[in-house]
Structure 1
Amino acid sequence: MGKVEERTLPILDRWDPPLRPARLIRRYKRFLADVEMDGQADPVTVHCPNPGAMTGCAEPGMRVLLAPVANPKAKLPWRWVLSETVEGVMIGIDTTRANRIAAALLARRAIPELAEWPEWRAEVVYDDGNSRVDFLLTDPRTRCPPLYLEVKSVTLRRDDRLQFPDAPTRRGTRHLRALARIAAGGEARAAVLYLAQRDDGACFSLARDIDPAYALAHEEAARAGVMTLARQLRLTQTAVHDAGPLPLEEA
């Protein structure tokens, strides 16, 4: 996607204050990384907000972008938010930002399959108190049943497919089974939104070889009536853009 196209894409979020570039030395203990920053003689340790494998997103020597941490009591002053591939593609590695971006998509009614629900609440307890759903969508003006929405952050690219998960996820499997129970009950609807924090894939597919249990739970959820949606984002050093729907790989 070229620069001209980028200017025409809706902006969902902005990086404020501006991001600072660095060079990745290593990622370790899942949530830590050492980087080289201009003007710093020694390596700087930063927070890595991603518990996954981060395949292709955390190679030593990669250019990365950091956001300053606003909390003055934080142990680490920088948060790693973007990785740049050798092809120049920006990847959003901050899994916690996915829900914020999803909320912006909901506010714009950018996803046609979800546009009929004008209101939503985040982090709602359900499944007899055993889980929290990312969003509960409602329409108090009609008899439209509520919709339970889970959001999954996608960073893995293999061949020309963007895939989830990049590591086994028991939590994700549990979420899918809870959504399946909701959909099968008939009083509410359910959906899972795979939010690709990159836009260099031709389609979305499950990484069945990485987590067969998750893939099986996904198939069972689909049979129960859970919708599968996929969206891709265009990330830059200044903003997060909506790059539109991501096609689902045909079975």
Structure 2
Amino acid sequence: MFSHLLRIFLIWGLSLQLGWAVELKGSLTQGGLIIGHTESNAQVFLDNQPIQISENGLFLLGFGRDAKQDIVLKIILPDGTKEIKKLNIIQREYKIQRINGISESKVTPNNNHLSRIQEEAALVRKARTTNDHRTDFLTGFIWPAKGSITGVYGSQRILNGKPKTPHYGVDIAAPAGTLVKAPAAGIVTLAHPNMFLSGGTLILDHGYGLSSAFLHLQQILVKKGNRIEQGAPIAKIGTTGRVTGAHLDWRINLFQTRLDPQFLVPPMGEINKK
């Protein structure tokens, strides 16, 4: 049932007499995704926050860029039995770049653009609230494009002493017009031709709140509501939005929690050799 691509495999179980186990597969690290499985009709809580669980006991856990080291997972079985485990989340060091002497106009957006930026951000947040019980993510993920990695998850610039929003995706440099393929099957929840910051922007929902976003697109080949299969062409790489060159910014979210796409795919170097 679970994809081979996930890197860590843990099984926690009570004694055989109790007849249950919790399976976790994935990356217990900042930016990591976990696919979990337990008994049907159980309840799952992460730091006392309820987690969506399917009728057959499937659930997802995501850890953001700055997730704390100790997080408590609690499982309540239908008979009231509780299992509580402390998850030790690996803390990462991120690439921080400090640049001074930049014109203030390039550091802070013009007030005339702020309302547009806020409106477009609200559209993205809404698309990421999709709560569908499809399990398209279980097939695993492929890279949406091939190219050089020019930006990584978690990196951040400090401009004139002002910390900017961290980068939450992986940047893949490739010529404008290069096809972007669906990394996993899903349904299109947003297809915007030209947002101020991210340019052509596409969001593909893979089920259970897990979604991919594709930024700076030259052209979007699908429409909102379309069902897309893994590997199908969905867009073309471009230079739209605030960019310095042609590339794809691919992002992964679990609802509003931003995850690292590189945990879901093999190293880019391996596929570039093929």
**TM-score for both structures, normalised by structure 2:** 0.29
| Rg larger for | 2
Structure number with the higher helix fraction is: 1
